[in-house]
Amino acid sequence: MENSSNLHDLDLDNKQGSNVSLPSGSAEDYINDPLLEQQWAMKAFQHAETYFNLLCAVDPKQLRLSRHDDKIYSHFRQLFPDFKIDTLDENEIKS
C-alpha cells in the first residue's frame, strides 16, 4: 500500500524564507547519520542535566511541577494511604 500523503500537502515549503527542500520517497531509502544521532544525544543530555540542576536547586517542599500536583498527590494518597514517601526503600517499591 503506497502512502498517498505528502509533506508538500502540509504547506511546509519555504516557510519563514527557508529554501530547504522536503525529503521525498520512502523512509527506507534513507539511513541514519551516526554523527547526527550523537549530536542529538549530546543535546538531549545537556537539556536533561540543566533540568536536573534546576530541580536540585529548589526546596522540594516548594517545588511545583504542574498545576495538577495537589490533585495528583490526593489521588495517590487515596490509592496508597499507608505508603511512606519520606523515606523510599527501593526493594519495597519493587515488591
C-alpha cell at 87: 523515606
Per-residue tens of pLDDT for the chain, all 95 residues: 444 455 555 555 555 556 667 778 888 888 888 999 999 999 999 999 999 999 999 998 888 889 999 999 999 999 999 888 888 888 877 86
C-alpha cell at 20: 530547504
- For the chain, the domains span 31-82
Alpha carbon 7 to chain centroid, angstroms: 24
Flag whether the pTM goes above 0.85. no
Per-residue b/e over 71-94, b at no fewer than 16 CB within 10 Å? Answer: eeeeeeeeeeeeeeeeeeeeeeee
Q: Give the Cα-Cα-Cα angle 6, 10, 35 (nearest 5 degrees).
A: 70
Read off the amino acid at residue 83.
F
Q: Which helix (H) or strand (E) holds 52?
A: helix 34-57
